[in-house]
């Protein structure tokens, strides 16, 4: 293979630099997947590295499948032996092999977000936590962030403090962990945390994998959290032949735990690292790249790089302002229809991006009226639908009967006359005898507390035992048996409603998924199928080949590209968000919003349109907003179309009158705006009747103490610690707090 002809100079350097730590700063559209593919091929062909000594980690199943396919195309059958998978999939494989060493049975269950929520509900009930004051996600979010930082309950408490709320989180964390352990279950965060713990505490296991993975590559490195960094550090610690690929300018997942310092400080962690910059872009026009460069250079904490391309100059970027969000959506839908007719291209060449999911509703309405096929990315996940969750719970209970959560979900689905009281009595009996709930159910005949329900429980356990005896059959066969013999399918058939028919169709699609899994794997198992289902990401579910416009948040668009892109809602307070503008974190939040805009710009290949509305409905009232500050960071030489300055003299705005969506050319957004430098709000800001330290009353949350008051321009932002221990940050005009 002639690598010199296949790659540009920088790509070739990245491929051939195989020894020691390497950081490849891969700008948007610079061919990073191509580099990783040929780097793998180079190791196998030129350096005679056995494929099974190479590990490549990605973030999504889709990216892993694409990389594996490309590697196999280049090097043939040998590519199948390269370990290519996601972080979570890799950890599952390690933990399955060394489960006992990690303190778990090999058939441990993997709990998704809904499962974790169910566990936390039970935890809160035990701790007598009022669900009206605290939601499950309050505790689960805190626990997840702690696990991302590899902190157990005690260490997390040091960060949280020792006030009543912190102590409640601490107790919830401990109880949550105990319940997962009792059920032989791990949540998604645990997959990485427990693998790191295993590698840290078991030198034999660590040595085994360090010898196995002589060469390690990590894609999208800017998205790694602290736990993932430690996993990579441990696994690559043998040969130190670690190659990470990423772009700090596309680090947009701080809210998920991503730590941008992992990539910014790579040379600090690995002083002998080689840094290679991939700056040639193969995706976008010169105009689009110039706009992206001019925006991102305003971030200070970044690795210096400038994208360039040999592509054509391309069309100027359209900047369009409208009187209302309705006219903005009307324009976008109409423009898609017009462009589609003229270009005779596919709807899949178009995407509409926005900062918040709430913006999609109006866009959907307009697309329906224009008869434009579209798909919302980020809606209800297929695997989150009730009927799918039910059947998965059956399968989990068959593989791992110790999974109390799954057993509880299905014991009376469909209804078998087994009441919650009987289940609780069985659980009490099981706990007293050191058994799982299912083992307690198996012993129902000797449990006098549930004598009346014993026969019904015995019928259920016999059903599960029968399914367990058929684990050697194909996965689709097992699923069909569960649907038929449990009575689940028949109940939906008898119901005979549109809803039940849709549920049956979903179950058929689930079987289709099982058939594909069965055919694609050399050694298919029900346990392996459940792992694959558990690790599927939302973006992995996009149907291939369907022709529709994609509507999605900017976060959801990462990794995708389209000929024509619209970014809607380019207003201060919306994008960047108000909280980012007013954050007192030295500009870090605003910098991440700017990176998000950079990601949005670089999704476009040929055409980019930026739209904003002079007025937008928020909380039931119309607000006026200033054009996004990010727009002024793009040179006017790269744009066409202008926007009017919003009037902010009247904070409360009447509903806008309908008018044409032709952009107003009377105002240049890149010159200093005539309007005052504030954000506009629905209500004129009035003096507050309370101050920091005062006790106040809220109609829903009761009494509390004011901790801080921040003047955000559009409104006062008030932080209150309520007597229940919960702290809430709210806008004064909407909170309507009264001095106690």
What residues contact residue 663 under an 8 Å CB cut-off, 6+ apart?
319, 320, 321, 322, 641, 642, 643
| Dist. CA 391–CA 713, nearest whole Å | 52
**Token pair of 415 as six digits:** 């209804």
Nearest Cα neighbor of 737 from 708, 699, 686, 711 is 699
Neighbours of 171 (CB within 10 A): 17
**Catalytic-residue membership of 219:** yes
Nearest Cα neighbor of 75 from 1, 11, 16, 14 is 1
DSSP per position, 243-279: EEEE-GGG---GGGT--THHHHTHHHHSTT-EEEEE-
Nearest Cα neighbor of 111 from 541, 537, 535, 539 is 535
DSSP per position, 415-477: --S--HHHHHHHHHHHHHTT--HHHHHHTGGG-GGGGGGHHHHHHHHHHHHHHHTTTTS-HHH
Catalytic: which of 115, 148, 220, 572? 220
Cis status of the peptide bond prior to 576, with omega within 30 of 0: yes
| Dist. CA 604–CA 561, nearest whole Å | 6
| Dist. CA 688–CA 739, nearest whole Å | 10
Pairing of strands 549-553, 374-376: parallel
> Which of the 8 DSSP states describes residue 714?
S
Place of tokens 């106690």: 740
Could you tell me where the DSSP H helices lie in 76-152?
Answer: 87-97, 99-102, 113-126, 136-148
Nearest Cα neighbor of 123 from 180, 186, 164 is 180
Catalytic: which of 18, 33, 274, 697? 33
When computed from its CA atoms, the radius of gyration of the chain, rounded to whole angstroms, is: 28
| Dist. CA 53–CA 81, nearest whole Å | 9
> Is-contact 311 286, C-beta < 8 A?
yes
Catalytic: which of 10, 32, 277, 283? 32
**Catalytic-residue membership of 32:** yes
**Catalytic-residue membership of 33:** yes
Catalytic: which of 39, 147, 603, 616? 603
**Token pair of 427 as six digits:** 């659980």
DSSP per position, 272-289: T-EEEEE-B-SSS-HHHH
3-state helix, strand, coil in the chain (%, to 5): 50, 15, 35
Pairing of strands 317-324, 274-278: unpaired
DSSP per position, 55-69: EEEESSHHHHHHHHH
| Dist. CA 228–CA 257, nearest whole Å | 10
| Dist. CA 177–CA 152, nearest whole Å | 9
| Dist. CA 611–CA 663, nearest whole Å | 10
Neighbours of 458 (CB within 10 A): 14
Q: What are phi and psi of 698, to 5 degrees?
A: -115, 140
Pairing of strands 83-86, 350-354: unpaired
Long-range contacts of range 269-272, CB-CB < 8 Å, 24 or more positions apart? 269/233, 270/21, 270/23, 270/240, 270/242, 272/20, 272/21
Catalytic: which of 219, 387, 403, 715? 219
> Is-contact 278 24, C-beta < 8 A?
yes
**Catalytic-residue membership of 603:** yes
Catalytic: which of 11, 250, 611, 681? 250
Positions of E strands within 543-644: 549-553, 562-567, 604-618, 621-624, 639-640
> Catalytic residues, which ones?
32-33, 219-220, 250, 603
């Amino acid at each position: 293979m002639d690598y010199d002809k296949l790659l540009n100079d920088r790509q070739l350097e990245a491929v051939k630099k195989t020894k020691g730590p390497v950081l490849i700063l891969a700008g948007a559209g610079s061919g990073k997947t191509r580099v990783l593919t040929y780097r793998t091929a180079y190791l196998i062909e030129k350096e005679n590295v056995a494929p099974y000594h190479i590990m490549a980690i990605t973030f999504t199943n889709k990216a892993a499948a694409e990389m594996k396919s490309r590697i196999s195309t280049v090097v043939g059958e040998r590519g199948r032996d390269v370990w290519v998978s996601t972080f979570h999939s890799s950890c599952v494989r390690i933990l399955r092999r060394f489960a006992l060493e990690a303190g778990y049975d090999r058939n441990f269950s993997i709990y998704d977000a809904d499962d974790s929520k169910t566990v936390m509900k039970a935890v809160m009930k035990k701790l007598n936590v009022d669900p009206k004051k605290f939601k499950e996600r309050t505790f689960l979010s805190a626990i997840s962030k702690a696990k991302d930082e590899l902190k157990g309950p005690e260490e997390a408490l040091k960060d949280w403090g020792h006030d009543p709320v912190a102590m409640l989180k601490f107790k919830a964390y401990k109880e949550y962990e105990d319940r997962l352990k009792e059920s032989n279950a791990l949540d998604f965060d645990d997959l990485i945390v427990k693998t790191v713990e295993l590698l840290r505490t078991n030198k034999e296991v660590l040595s085994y994998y360090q010898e196995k993975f002589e060469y390690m590559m990590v894609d999208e490195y800017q998205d790694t959290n602290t736990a993932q960094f430690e996993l990579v550090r441990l696994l690559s610690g043998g040969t130190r032949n670690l190659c990470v690929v990423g772009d700090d300018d596309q680090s947009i997942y701080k809210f998920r735990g991503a730590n941008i310092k992992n990539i910014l400080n790579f040379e600090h962690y690995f002083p002998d690292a080689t840094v290679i910059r991939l700056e040639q872009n193969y995706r976008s026009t010169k105009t689009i790249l110039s706009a992206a460069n001019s925006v991102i250079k305003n971030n200070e904490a970044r690795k210096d790089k400038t994208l360039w391309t040999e592509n054509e100059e391309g069309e100027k970027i359209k900047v369009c302002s409208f009187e209302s969000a309705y006219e903005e959506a009307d324009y976008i839908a109409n423009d898609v229809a017009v462009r589609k007719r003229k270009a005779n291209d596919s709807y899949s060449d178009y995407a509409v991006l926005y900062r918040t999911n709430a913006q999609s509703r109006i866009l959907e309405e307009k697309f329906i009226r224009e008869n434009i096929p579209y798909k919302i990315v980020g809606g209800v996940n297929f695997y989150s639908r009730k009927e799918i969750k039910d059947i998965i719970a059956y399968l989990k209970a068959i593989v791992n009967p110790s999974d109390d959560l799954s057993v509880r979900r299905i014991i009376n689905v469909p209804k078998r006359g087994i009441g919650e009281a009987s289940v609780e009595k069985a659980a009490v009996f099981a706990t007293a005898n050191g058994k799982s709930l299912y083992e307690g159910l198996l012993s129902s005949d000797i449990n006098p507390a549930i004598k009346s329900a014993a026969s019904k429980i015995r019928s259920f356990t016999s059903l599960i035992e029968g399914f367990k005896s058929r684990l050697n059959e194909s996965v689709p066969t097992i699923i069909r048996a569960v649907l038929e013999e449990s009575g689940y399918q028949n109940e939906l058939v008898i119901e005979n409603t549109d809803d039940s028919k849709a549920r049956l169709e979903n179950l058929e699609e689930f079987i289709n998924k099982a058939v594909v899994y069965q055919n694609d794997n050399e050694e298919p198992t029900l346990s392996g199928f459940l792992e694959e289902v558990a690790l599927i990401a939302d973006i992995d579910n996009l149907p291939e080949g369907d022709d529709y416009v994609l509507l999605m948040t900017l976060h959801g668009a990462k990794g995708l590209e389209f000929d024509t892109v619209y970014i809607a809602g380019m207003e201060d307070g919306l994008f960047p968000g108000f909280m980012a503008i007013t954050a007192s974190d030295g500009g870090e939040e605003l910098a991440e919003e700017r990176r998000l805009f950079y990601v949005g710009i670089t999704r476009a290949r040929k055409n980019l349109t930026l739209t904003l509305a002079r007025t937008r409905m928020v909380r039931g009232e119309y607000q006026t907003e200033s054009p996004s500050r990010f727009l002024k960071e793009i040179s006017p030489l790269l744009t066409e179309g202008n926007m009017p300055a919003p009037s902010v003299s009247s904070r409360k705005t009447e509903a806008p009158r309908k008018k044409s969506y032709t952009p107003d050319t009377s105002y240049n957004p890149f010159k200093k705006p005539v309007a005052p430098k504030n954000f506009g709000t629905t209500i004129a800001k009035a003096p507050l009747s309370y101050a920091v330290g005062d006790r106040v009353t809220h109609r829903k949350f009761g009494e509390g103490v004011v901790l801080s008051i921040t003047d955000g321009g559009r409104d006062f932002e008030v932080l209150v610690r309520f007597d229940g221990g919960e702290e809430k940050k709210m806008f004064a005009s909407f909170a309507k707090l009264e001095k106690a």
